[in-house]
Amino acid sequence: MKTLVSAAALLAASFSAMPALAANLVLYTSQPNEDAQATVDGFMAANPDIKVDWVRDGTPKIMARLQAEIAAGNPVADVLLIADTVTLERLKQDGKLVAYKSPQAVNYDASLYDKDGYYYSTKLITTGIVYNTAAGMKPTSWQDLTKPEARNLATMPSPLTSGAALIHAQTLAGVEGLGWDYYKALGENGATAAGGNGAVLKAVAAGEKAYGMVVDYMPIREKAKGAPVEFVFPSEGVSAVTEPVGILASSKNIEAAQKFVDHVLSVEGQQGFVKLGYIPARNGIAMPEGFPARETIRVLPLDAATALKDTQADLTSFSGYFSAN
């Protein structure tokens, strides 16, 4: 309880005004509050000489805050740990990140970090299908949500409000046999798209909807607590956001920031994410409880630079199929 209270107090203080004495390190993150506190606690335990302040919000709001600070000539953050590589790719192209070749990178698949060292994935948060255990159909494929059995019974977060949902749509749009025709079929089958992942899980758990697209850890956590939900990794594969970490070029604490990057990529840092219920990005780390073996999960590819270039067109395409929702 003390940890939660202190986290809430620090969050409020961070958004009203940063401390008069600059911290050794300032982290801007989109992690949930408890996860952000656990990440910071783990880092400070390993680096007791470095103090960390953190500010948490959704990625769009964190980015709006950061861009406003940059425009004012006073960026506060040293390190970003936010939802997706597309956002950090934009910062990289704008010259707002500094490259760092972490020695921990040898333990990661090359597809999970920027080849020049501007950002590194810290975990895999996949999007699959959640269904209510009372549902008549037990889906195994993305295409199942377009069947008559799912008519008016499926829901998903909107890419207009959820970064993970945008990455998911862009990923499926590039899969042969799915593409934007798949989203058209979903819309014609009465699927709805609004809000974020939390609202989707709530609707399915309550029985308001039978099926939903949602990030993996939410229903897996809730099932463990007794919620009437099951999570499926569809046969075609899943999209993933990877909560990458990157260092701001404007950081005044580069050495401390590099230590933070190394920590979240280390065995200890990755095991900390596993304890929170996330799939580790690092090779050779055991999966969290409730997840299948990692080799059974097919993660679909997405090129961050291409996704960034196509973002506006993709949002327009999606809105055309779900404008009435």
Strands 211-215 and 154-156 come out as parallel
The per-residue pLDDT for 61 is: 87
For 230-286, what is each residue's pLDDT tens digit?
A: 999 999 999 999 999 999 999 999 999 999 999 999 999 999 999 999 999 999 999
Question: Shortest CA distance to 241 belongs to which of 115, 101, 38, 82?
Answer: 82
Query: For residues 244 and 232, what is the distance between their CA atoms, to the nearest angstrom?
Result: 24
C-beta of residue 252 within 8 angstroms of C-beta of residue 126: no
Helices 33-46 and 267-275 cross at an angle (nearest 10°) of 150
What is the structure's pLDDT at 161?
Answer: 83
Q: Would you say residue 18 has pLDDT above 90?
A: no
d(CA 204, CA 150): 13
State how far the Cα of 98 lies from the Cα of 121, in Å rounded to an integer: 16
d(CA 312, CA 320): 12
* Per-residue pLDDT band at 60 (split at 50, 70, 90): confident
Task: Return all residues near 163 (Cβ < 8 A) that are at least 6 apart.
Answer: 30, 58, 59, 60, 83, 84, 86, 87, 241
Tokens of 23: 């911290």
Of all helices (H) and strands (E), which one includes residue 80? strand 79-81
Domains of the chain as residue ranges with CATH: 2-122+243-288 (3.40.190.10), 124-240+300-322 (3.40.190.10)
pLDDT band at 318 (very low <50, low <70, confident <90, very high): very high
Q: What is the pLDDT of residue 166?
A: 92
Please write the tens of the pLDDT for every residue from 165-208.
999 999 999 999 999 999 999 999 999 999 889 999 999 999 99
Rounded to whole angstroms, the Cα distance separating 43 from 261 reads 10
**What is the overall mean pLDDT for the chain?**
91
End-to-end CA distance of the chain: 39
Number of H helices, E strands in the chain: 11, 12
Q: Supply 126's token pair.
A: 């996949």
**What is the C-alpha to C-alpha distance for residues 53 and 57, in angstroms, rounded to an integer?**
14
H-helix segments, 197-266:
197-205, 217-224, 254-265
Give the pLDDT confidence of 271-286 residue by residue, as tens digits: 999 999 999 999 999 9
Alpha-carbon gap, residue 203 to 320, rounded angstroms: 24
Average pLDDT over residues 88-116: 96
Tell how strand 123-132 and strand 279-280 pair up: antiparallel
Asked whether the predicted pLDDT for residue 29 surpasses 50, the reply is: yes
CA distance 128 to 49: 41
Q: Is the pLDDT of residue 14 over 90?
A: no
